[in-house]
Structure 1
Amino acid sequence: MPASADPHLAQLDTDERWRALTTLPAKLSLYRDEVSFRESWRIAQEVLGTQVLTVLQQTTLLTLRPEAILARKADDCLEFLRRHDFAAIHAERLRYDRNSIRDLWRYQWNVAQLDSIEVSDLVHYRAPALMLVLRDLHPAPGTPASLRLTAVKGTSDPTGRTPRHLRSVLGAPNRVLVVIHAPDEPLDVVRELGVLFDRAALRRVYATMCQEGADTTPRSEIDDLYRSTERYSLRVDKAIDALRRELRVRASIADPGRLALLGRVDDRLSEAEHGGHLDWRGWVEDLDNCGLAYDSWPSTVVASHHVEHTLPGVRPLIPETGRRGWLAGDGLLLPRQVIR
């Protein structure tokens, strides 16, 4: 791997210190040219000093996404984290925008269908999110905190989870409404913070990683988010029922021309329920012709479940979490230390 011209990144090349952050050199090659990653790494070094690698291995992030706030999943999530020995030491409220969404998942969304991305945007824009800084109180042999959390979190695809995974516990129904997000490796922690926060916020968040103290439930932040947002269900069957109720109400007063349009929407719902994919652009047009909002919560939930999610035969630009490399001893796992 060529040495970086950035002196802060060049320090990672000394004695392959980068192996404390990732077991995937190709991932580092992609990240090291990103301004957001470089800024975040420099500030991490400035704030955390000689303990920077240790701190990044012993702490991680988990974001309660907008749908987690809307569905009131925060307390169930925190209880799961406590049972798995992750202590929440800080909470940071954030709003996703178009650029941060695309930057954050740049190396995974190359496989995503554009319909799925458009529906994801509706979810991300609908409410604020809450990022938790977590300390790992019971590290697993051979892996940093971020990898242990990834293992218990579960995949975005429900078919790849068990009922014990966090996403299953929280009722995440599909690959759009995944409820939570967490970075895979310490390197991803650095990059994610750089994508989401400005320099002042980066200093604040990194400073919390070295503070002492027990698990702190971010009660005031959660209550404030709940007060400022409506409550919605993530259940797809409830969303379909809500749409059908609306269709029946409108059909009862519709003229023959509008009645045919309403029937077309109902037909699309039936096709999706029986295994067909929902054509997003056609769905939006049909709802608009009926005077229904395509971005209503029931419509968004139905579309999140029934649009095509991935392009066939395409692999993510970063296809691995790094877990296999850590378990094989490719990572540089540092001795556990008291963080000060």
Structure 2
Amino acid sequence: MTAAGDTLLGALTPSAAKAEVYAADTYVQESVDQLRDLGIDPAAFARDHSLLLLKPDAVVARAVEPTLEWLAHNDFEVVAAHRCAVNRHLVRAIWYFAWNIASAERRRLADLLVGISDALVLVVRGEADALPVSVRLTAAKGPTDPRKRQPGELRYLLGQHNFLLNLVHSPDDPADVLREFAIFFDEATRRRVCTDATDGAARARELARELYAVTPARSFERAAAVARLRRDLGAANVPVAPELSDAGCARLLYDAWAAGHELDPWSVLVLGSYVLPMRTGSGPQTLPPVTAKTWMEGRS
């Protein structure tokens, strides 16, 4: 990307490190080039729009309608909705600069999650005043850590209080909007998002019905996961202790994986999300997250 591109990214993130890395990022380049070809200012698009990914766990939780209602009540307009096939490569592309601290167990669970269902990607628009839409949306949706969520936040509303199965993702800042726009959508889809006027919320509801028809609702409760895994292992003549601590549940999963037992993926996801380590504990992620606080500090 040219020096003008460096200047563009410098205005779209408070992180100098991110601006430097994203200047050479293929996804960012694709979005910027196409938006300019369409006569759209990439900086304005990135400030005024964001994306909201409803992950496969959101489909299982039947979270689409509550999310749409929350967005409308918080002055976000859904301008497009698309069903998105997910796989391990898409997951790694989205979180490429953060997953250096993800544990092997978290990566394994994430790879199971993408096999549960397709995802739903919403393109949202709002007013970018002191905060760009992406920064405002990310702050309003609530943190990954369920202990830090507050009433009024989207993740608090959706009610599945779990670190890994947190249902939704959104880009941190406008630079991330440009990058993720090209991760989720190919060139033709990006053009439709930018040029077709549709009722995005209505389309999201239609897509949700399709996803729900092929993806059963499941329990997010640890006890239900343990009960299902007991049945799976019992069918394989594997004894399971009557009472299982966190360490015992973790050992059950490790041993089952090592032995190659066939287990219900959803139950493994739920139990593993409660008892397996999610982070390596070795240093910060490659690019630190941008928050409303760091955005405002970077603009001052």
| TM-score for both structures, normalised by structure 1 | 0.79
Q: Work out the CA distance in 2 between the residues paired with 1:164 and 1:80.
A: 9
After superposition, the Cα gap between the structure-2 partners of 1:222 and 1:22, relative to the gap in structure 1 and judged at 3 Å, is same
Does 1:12 pair with 2:5? yes
| TM alignment of 1:275-290, pairs within 5 A | 278-279=250-251, 280-285=253-258, 288=261
The equivalent of 2:296 in structure 1 is 327
Q: Which moved more, 1:313-322 or 1:186-195?
A: 313-322
- Residues 232-283 of structure 1 show CA distances to partners (whole Å, capped at 9, x for unaligned) of 2223233234334x279x48xx9xxx3xx3225x56xx121xx667255324
Shift of 1:85: 1.1
The equivalent of 1:206 in structure 2 is 194
Match of 1:237 among 217, 223, 234: 223
| TM alignment of 1:1-340, pairs within 5 A | 6-7=1-2, 10-13=3-6, 16-49=7-40, 51-137=41-127, 139=128, 141-208=129-196, 211=197, 216=202, 218-244=204-230, 246=231, 250=234, 258=237, 261-263=238-240, 270-272=244-246, 278-279=250-251, 280-285=253-258, 288=261, 293-328=262-297, 330=299
Q: Work out the CA distance in 2 between the residues paired with 1:212 and 1:94.
A: 18
The one-letter code matched in structure 2 to 1:321 is: V
Check conservation: 1:294, 1:300, Cα contact below 8 A.
Answer: no
Runs of 4+ in 1 over 4 A off after TM superposition: 211-217
Question: How many matched pairs?
Answer: 299
The one-letter code matched in structure 2 to 1:304 is: S
SS in 2 for 1:125: coil
Shift of 1:149: 0.4
- Residues 54-102 of structure 1 show CA distances to partners (whole Å, capped at 9, x for unaligned) of 2221111101111111221111111111111111111011111222111
After superposition, the Cα gap between the structure-2 partners of 1:64 and 1:27, relative to the gap in structure 1 and judged at 3 Å, is same
Q: Work out the CA distance in 2 between the residues paired with 1:76 and 1:169.
A: 8
Check conservation: 2:50, 2:123, Cα contact below 8 A.
Answer: yes
Check conservation: 1:22, 1:322, Cα contact below 8 A.
Answer: no
- Residues 38-69 of structure 1 show CA distances to partners (whole Å, capped at 9, x for unaligned) of 112211222242x3322221111101111111
SS in 1 for 2:220: coil
The equivalent of 1:334 in structure 2 is none
After superposition, the Cα gap between the structure-2 partners of 1:84 and 1:300, relative to the gap in structure 1 and judged at 3 Å, is same
Q: Work out the CA distance in 2 between the residues paired with 1:247 and 1:116.
A: 22
The one-letter code matched in structure 1 to 2:33 is: R
| TM-score for both structures, normalised by structure 2 | 0.89
After superposition, the Cα gap between the structure-2 partners of 1:329 and 1:318, relative to the gap in structure 1 and judged at 3 Å, is closer
Q: Which moved more, 1:90-99 or 1:193-202?
A: 193-202
Q: Work out the CA distance in 2 between the residues paired with 1:214 and 1:97.
A: 24
Check conservation: 1:89, 1:216, Cα contact below 8 A.
Answer: no
Check conservation: 1:154, 1:168, Cα contact below 8 A.
Answer: yes
User: What is the root-mean-square deviation of aligned Cα atoms in Å?
Assistant: 2.6
Unaligned runs of 5+ in 1: 1-5, 332-340
SS in 1 for 2:124: strand
Q: Work out the CA distance in 1 between the residues paired with 2:39 and 2:223.
A: 48
Check conservation: 2:116, 2:266, Cα contact below 8 A.
Answer: no
SS in 2 for 1:240: helix
Q: Work out the CA distance in 1 between the residues paired with 2:204 and 2:184.
A: 20
After superposition, the Cα gap between the structure-2 partners of 1:215 and 1:77, relative to the gap in structure 1 and judged at 3 Å, is closer
SS in 1 for 2:114: helix
The one-letter code matched in structure 1 to 2:38 is: V
Question: Between the two proteins, what is the percent identity of the paired residues?
Answer: 29
Check conservation: 1:173, 1:235, Cα contact below 8 A.
Answer: no
Check conservation: 2:249, 2:271, Cα contact below 8 A.
Answer: no
Check conservation: 2:9, 2:22, Cα contact below 8 A.
Answer: no
Check conservation: 1:60, 1:183, Cα contact below 8 A.
Answer: yes
- Residues 138-161 of structure 1 show CA distances to partners (whole Å, capped at 9, x for unaligned) of x5x421000000111111121222
The one-letter code matched in structure 1 to 2:73 is: R
Q: Work out the CA distance in 1 between the residues paired with 2:291 and 2:35.
A: 21
The one-letter code matched in structure 2 to 1:193 is: F
Check conservation: 2:14, 2:290, Cα contact below 8 A.
Answer: no
Q: Work out the CA distance in 1 between the residues paired with 2:31 and 2:200.
A: 26
Shift of 1:300: 2.2
